[in-house]
Amino acid sequence: MNWLLAIVQTLLFVALAPLLSGWLKWCKCHLQNRKAPSLLQPYRDLMKLIRKQPVVAEHASWIFTRSPYIIFSAMVLAASVVPLIAVDLPTAASADVIVLVGFFAFARFFLALAGLDIGTAFGGMGSSREMTISSLAEPAMLMAVFTLTMTASTTNLSLAIAHVLNEGLVLRPSFVFAMFALILVAIAETGRVPVDNPTTHLELTMIHEAMILEYSGRHLALIEWASQLKLMLYGVLIANIFWPWGIAQNFSIHALGYGLLAISGKLAALAVFLSISETLVAKMRLFRVQEYLSFAYLLGLLGMLSHIILEASR
């Protein structure tokens, strides 16, 4: 029963990810006075891409054709670890936050390899930029995650969320910092506006798009889906770690339904905030990303320090 629930939760993750990015696009369009596409547009795009025949370059090696499957499955595995509507699921017990960061790194590694594999200038440029950004973003993310794990004295995400939940409403200075650090890292890692623009194909600015420029057909569909999953994963992480209220702690239908409702509401609200910030903020120069991410690292570090200085028992 529990395993079934875990599988259903993972499937829900995979199924709802395009909806989240559709909702994000919808909010953004309305904020920018444009006509919004339907909320289901990402599903239609994915269906169209899956039906099309992929075109693979002549010199592509096996890495290029296998990468989309590897990236997508790494993201699905990552989704199985993160509690979406219920804590204490068996899959969540099998891996902790550091494994989750590892899944992200694994997917990114193959994406960068695929970008290099084809041998075009854009692919290599995109890969090098992606690795530069992620090498700075990963320490910041780990710092924010360590703040959580030190508070809950466990690296298991499910147990940590249950710990935060059981404590009730505590005003923790360290969590404020860790949350902002995680939000900054999430924006950088999912390629949203101040760092990368997901809608542009302008060669000077693109990072994520440059790596996947040569993909088409179902390969492209899988990569797009994986990046939508990544966005949703970060959203769920932020929502469930810092506002875990509403998540199901037992497996009754009532609690699960309430959990689903709560996480949908939280993700929808987060997407509204993201679209507002994307409308207000301009994309920054590539060489300023380093400052942005070192600020995220500083916030993570301050979160850790304020946990030790202000909160720890003595």
Partner 1 sequence: MNIEQQDFYTQAILSMAALVGLTSFLMLGQGRLLRLIFVFALQGLLLTLTTTLAAYSLNSPHLYISAMMTLILKVIFIPWMLRRQVVLMNMHRDVEALKNNTAVMLGGAGLMVFSYYVLHPIVQTSSAIMLNALAVSLSVVLLGMLLMISHRQAVAHVVGFMSIENGLFFAAIVATKGMPMVVELGVAFDVLVAAVLFGIFFFHIRTSIDSLDVDRMNRLHEVDQ
Q: Which is nearer to partner 1, 86 or 302 (CB)?
A: 302
The residue (of 19 and 302) whose beta carbon lies closer to partner 1 is 302
Query: Is residue 177 at the binding interface for partner 1, with CB under 8 A as the rule?
Result: yes
Q: Are 147 and 307 in contact (CB under 8 A)?
A: yes
Whether residue 24 contacts residue 234, with contact meaning beta carbons closer than 8 Å, is answered with no
Question: Minimal distance in Å, beta carbon 309 to partner 1?
Answer: 5
Shortest Å distance, C-beta 197 to partner 1: 25
Of 173 and 217, CB closest to partner 1: 173
Cβ 24 to partner 1, closest distance in Å? 29
Q: In the complex, what is the shortest distance from the CB of residue 167 to partner 1, in angstroms, rounded to a whole number?
A: 5
* Contacts of partner 1 in 26-55 (CB under 8 A): none
Q: By C-beta, is 140 or 206 nearer to partner 1?
A: 140
Measure the CA–CA gap between 258 and 264, rounded to whole angstroms: 10
Residues 147-176 that bind partner 1 (CB under 8 A): 167-168, 170-174, 176
Between 292 and 311, how does the x/- string for binding to partner 1 read (CB under 8 A)?
--xx--xx-xx--xx-xxxx
Give the number of residues in contact with partner 1, rule: CB under 8 A.
24
Residue 150 burial by CB count (10 A; 0-12/13-18/19+): exposed, middle or buried?
Answer: middle
Tell which positions 96-125 bind partner 1, by CB under 8 A. none
The CB-of-304 to partner 1 minimum distance in angstroms stands at 10
For the bound state, the minimum distance from the C-beta of residue 245 to partner 1, rounded and expressed in Å, comes to 16
Q: CA 10 to CA 163: how far, in whole Å?
A: 22
| Smaller CB separation from partner 1, 174 or 190 | 174
Residue 79 or 152: the one with the smaller Cβ distance to partner 1 is: 152
Which range binds partner 1 by CB under 8 A, 41-49, 73-81, 119-127, 291-299? 291-299
CA distances for 153 relative to 147, 160, 162, 163, angstroms:
10, 8, 12, 9
Which is nearer to partner 1, 19 or 183 (by Cβ)?
183
Contact positions with partner 1 (CB under 8 A) in 195-254: none
Residues that bind partner 1 (CB under 8 A): 167-168, 170-174, 176-177, 294-295, 298-299, 301-302, 305-306, 308-314
